[in-house]
Amino acid sequence: MAKASNLTRTELDSSFESNLSVSSRTSNRSLRVAEKERRKNQTGDPFVLALKYFSEVEAGTQCFGNDVLERNLVLVERVGLSRGLPPEAISVMLDYAMSLRMGGVTCVRVLKFLIPATVVPQEAVVQAVAWLCVGKIAISTQVIFLRWVLTVFDMIDSKDHLRAIYGFIFSFVTEENLSPYICHLLYLLTRRESVRPFRVRKLLDLQTKMGRQPFLLHLLSLYKVFCPELVTLALPSRMRSGFKNHNSTWKAALSAVQKRNNGQVSSDISLTLGLKDKTNSRKRKFHHLELPSLSSSVQSNSSSSRSRKVFPLEQLHSFPQLLDNLHCIELPSQMGSLLGSSLALCYLDYVQDDSAFLRLNFWLGHALHEEFLFCSGDGGSGSSSEALHFLNRLLSTQHFLQEGFSSTEGFLYKFLNVWDGSLLRPQILGLLSDIPVVPSSCISQLLFEPLMQLFFTSTLFFKCSVIDCLNNMLLKWLTWHSVYALEDGLDISLNSHTPMNMTLSGFMDSVMELVRFVGRLATVGLQLEGCHSLLLSFILDFYETVCDMFLKYGLPLVVMPPVGVFYPALFATDPVSVDRLGYIMYRYKKNLTSAKCQQQETKQAFHISRQTYKEFNHYLLFMVSCLWNSKMFLPGMAIEVDQELLALSKVPEPRTSFDLIHHPAFLGYALDFHHKCWPERKDMDLNSIKAGKQWDWYLEFLFSQGFHGLQQFIQSSINRRSVAGINGQRGSQPTSR
Amino acid sequence: MEERNSIVKTPLNNVLAQRRSKSYRRSMQSCVEATNLEYTSGHLTALRTPRSRRTPKSRDITKQVDPDQVALLVTKEWQLSYVTPLYHFRHTQLKYYSKQLSAFIVSEKQQGLAIEVGQELGFKVNFSVVLGLAEMDEDAETVFIQILSKQAFAAKDDAQKVVWSGWLTCVNGDLEYLRSLPSEFVSLPLLCTRGPESLTVLIKSWFEKTFDCCFGPLGINSTNLQWLAALWTGCHPTINIQYLKLVWTLPTLPPMDVKYTIHPQDAWELWDSVRQDDITDVSIEEVTRFIKVLQSHFFRHFRIDLSAGSLMQVSTALGSSHHSGKIKIASPTYITTILQLLTECALLKMPI
């Protein structure tokens, strides 16, 4: 049953469409339409006939007791309220109603069921406004019409013709009863070119007559957005919510129709404005941290730019809008306001306007200085959640732009000297990690000295945060480098618009300084904290970045970790650290090998010092002989210990005490393995793991426990010639170069 | 053209002169020198002030500047603020600014009433240029703002009452800083205001909205007060300073204010004795010694060590200045010297 009625409705719709397609603008005469037309002729659709009646009925036809009229009205009304009327039906009915061909009562009744199914043709509305100008319609009916236009405004297919009759619509503004609705409609139609001095004056006259009416003020405030040089206005905060909705009559029917039509037409029923309501709950005397509101600039509007079409950022609400108006967007009067809007930031990133950035930096620097350095506000520097909120917003802005502001940078250098290391720590360190490359000549004074003081006098957790921050900083520097190296070709020294405006060697010096500085921090930090594994983990994070600088970021620089980091990591009691050290050594090897290859190929493209290779080989040799060969402390190695001294320690077999079996980090695994291999054996002999196949199995066992770093290290650095051999024992020698 | 003699300059300016626009790094100088900061009671006082200054030259400013305008500036007490550079400020648009500002003030005072710009209102704003106060080509000309209120029922020819006045100035500003600014910016770093605080707030907010600048309070720290004391004392041979009054606040409980008035001739002789042979320049060492000697003299008599406190106020017949950022210049003769010092203080507050 339902299906059947559905079917008739579709037929009805389609036949209707084709019937009126003569007058319709888009007459796409496809086969389908022709087919429908044929069917229509057969059936003689009642809905179409009804519309035909309304479009043709003579003016002055009696409406009281007119059964034909009543029957047709009911038919269209039912369609309108249930499925919505197609565009052409809207045109017909609106014209019928507004022309008052059968009096005002019918007009109101028609207006009430004019629910659009898809869109409202703009010509219909223009036509209706024309009828409005004739001036025969009762005021209350005019109000209903205007409310209807406001309700369906977003469904009007285009608005350019409506804007063309802006002046006609404006003329109704003096009509007291219509004024609120007219103002609202004008608000929706206003463009910069429609703001004229005489209109401003008219509205101001009205304001004197009617008092501070919200609708007048809202329209005037929009005028101010477009032409601040003509009118000025301070909206009281309670009045910032926007226009009232006038859609009560149609709301239920409209949403029902839209729901039924699968909500394909997304009409914003509530036409409230996006006026940002500022909450001024805080009673602070100074508002350094308050973002200024987006408002258009008074000055730029004067004379020359008036003729040019501009789009104030204030009016920007969506990304497509941004794309459409990219060529004519006007920067706001206060650049600080951009910080609050990601759309505006997109634009800022796109324009690359020096002055704009400078203005933003002035504002930002001022806010930061006043709040955290001069403390000229109410003294409560940063303690408030407001400061937290501000810094978080700044952080997210910088992450959005993927670059730190120079004013933030300048501020941080000053602030580090007075910072206690705990105030807003995550935010401050976050900002610090965003700073661009600092030239090596002043990096120590600006960054290292203040940081070092804080580092050595603070808790373990702070130390970890600092290392993490410096790791992020290095990552960002390297990323910038790799991006610009890609963009400009490798020879970045010749190009002037690199982010750092510094030569490759200058950049390398800075990176070198940073890495060495972290090396020093790490060495002392590990001593101070008793080689705490948490700290060690952050330090190893850092070296994971360092070891891959050549391969990952294309920077011809390899810096080895200092002994104060290497040995604590190697002798760490947790297997994770040793494993990560294995991975780091593996990556170092990869980087150094390919650097050497490239050096040989290109001849003198860059030069990694022999010292670096030497250091690496030392570490490698030691690590292999320690973990693999059980030959620690032999003469000629990095660490030599006198035999007698070793004897004094009374450690049995000191040389083997850090091999993969006896290393404190792996001892547990060795025991586990031993137990699994020989479940019934009561006496524990770990050395038996070293023999024969067991060693291989033990390695497999370790690798299966997730020690992939170790696996990569062993597979890359230990040349196991005789793996498949008869005694597949550790016949291996570390590769040396 | 006056040049500073012994500012410690770091050679970094060229290293990183400009980067891509986004990170627009002016120069590293301010950052580097920021590490030479000294901290007094939680406040940050940047010591980038010069180690030496020219001896104040007596100069008849009225020869360059309209005497009527000079009269507006002197013998009044001004509250000081600093301003970041003004974007798109044009000295040729002052009339337009007058209209805008008066409309703005009225609309802010009458929240929720739209105001047509240019219409006759309860306030009249006058912007004017004080030509001749600027010393160098790089200094922007001083702008004087006066706000007159119209009495609602006043007769037509009644004089309008000045309710607020203020001026933006720059005298001998740091050349390097001024030159580094793009041409769209005008640096008038020092704002002197006089009038009700509520109006000051409104006017500042109009400037912020119109020229995208920021204001902050400008105090005069102890060192600069000492400079002023010494410079004014040095003027005694040409103009009688009548007295040298210094006010210290000592951090006792409750805080103790010490007012220390010195006979002008004594002060001058003392100053003359600490002065070295260099006639053209005054060094910071001389100034410190001058104050030290005054303090030790006080200590000998009252057993109170003034160096433990901080200098809050300095006044002579030539003018007075207060730690909180109030200044009064009584004589136009040495106005340039004072304004130069204040311009320096204001420029030191610039965030970039």
Binned at pLDDT 50, 70 and 90, residue A134 comes out as: confident
pLDDT digits (tens, 9 = 90+) for B183-200: 999 999 999 999 999 999
List the one residue out of A73, A138, A74, A130 whose CA is nearest residue A104: A138
Instruction: For chain A, state the CA radius of gyration.
Output: 39
Q: Do A361 and B19 touch (CB under 8 A)?
A: no
Copy the structure tokens of residue B122: 């309860």
- Most A CBs within 10 Å: which of B88, B111, B212, B218, as the mutation test of the A interface? B212
pLDDT digits (tens, 9 = 90+) for A518-537: 999 999 999 999 999 999 99
pLDDT digits (tens, 9 = 90+) for B99-141: 889 888 888 888 777 777 777 677 889 999 999 888 888 999 9
- Most B CBs within 10 Å: which of A232, A374, A453, as the mutation test of the B interface? A232
pTM, whole model, 2 decimals? Answer: 0.77
Share of chain A above pLDDT 70, in %: 81
Instruction: Answer for the pair B125, B105: CB distance below 8 angstroms, yes or no.
Output: yes
Q: What are B53's strand-pairing partners?
A: B282
Residue of A nearest to B324 (CA): A376
Query: Which residues 384-423 in chain A show a CB within 8 A of chain B?
Result: 401, 403-407, 409-411, 413-414, 417-418
Q: Which residue has the tokens 């104030």?
A: A312
Does position A285 have pLDDT exceeding 60, yes or no? no
Q: Do A403 and B22 touch (CB under 8 A)?
A: yes
Tally C-beta pairs within 8 A across A and B.
Answer: 196
| Distance to chain A for B2, nearest Cα, Å | 28
Round the average pLDDT of chain A to a whole number and report it. 80
Nearest by CB: B20 against A405, A417, A497:
A497
Does position A263 have pLDDT exceeding 60, yes or no? no
Residue of B nearest to A203 (CA): B114
Q: Do A363 and B84 touch (CB under 8 A)?
A: yes
Instruction: Answer for the pair B290, B244: CB distance below 8 angstroms, yes or no.
Output: no
Question: Which chain A residues have a beta carbon less than 8 Å from that of B15?
Answer: 439, 441, 502
Instruction: Answer for the pair A226, A190: CB distance below 8 angstroms, yes or no.
Output: yes
List the one residue out of B273, B277, B192 whose CA is nearest residue B230: B273
Q: Cα dist. A128→A93, A124, A165, B93 in Å?
A: 10, 6, 12, 47
Copy the structure tokens of residue A546: 């360092």
- H helix count then E strand count, chain A: 33, 5
| DSSP conformational letter for A562 | P
- ipTM, 2 dp: 0.86
Instruction: Answer for the pair B85, B213: CB distance below 8 angstroms, yes or no.
Output: yes
State the amino acid at position A15 in one-letter form: S
Question: Which chain A residues have a beta carbon less than 8 Å from that of B100?
Answer: 229, 232, 298
List the one residue out of A628, A551, A529 whose CA is nearest residue A582: A628
Nearest by CB: A233 against B22, B44, B107:
B107
The DSSP code sequence of A21-77 is: TTTSS-----HHHHHHHHHHHHH--HHHHHHHHHHHPPTT---TT-HHHHHHHHHHH
Q: Cα dist. A547→A543, A582, A584, B3 in Å?
A: 6, 12, 6, 51
Interior/surface letters A327-359, b for 16+ CB within 10 angstroms, e for the rest: eebbbbbbbbbbbebebbbbbbeeeebebbbbb
Residues written for chain A = 737
List the one residue out of A556, A441, A586 whose CA is nearest residue A510: A441
Residue of B nearest to A210 (CA): B113
pLDDT digits (tens, 9 = 90+) for A345-389: 888 888 878 888 899 999 999 999 988 888 754 444 445 788 888
Residues written for chain B = 352
Round the average pLDDT of chain B to a whole number and report it. 81
Preceding amide of B254 cis, omega within 30 = yes
Q: How many CB atoms lie within 10 A of CB A412?
A: 23
Binned at pLDDT 50, 70 and 90, residue A41 comes out as: low
Q: Do B35 and A302 touch (CB under 8 A)?
A: no
For residues A175-200, average pLDDT: 88
Return the higher-pLDDT residue of B169 and A647.
Answer: B169
Q: Do A359 and B87 touch (CB under 8 A)?
A: yes
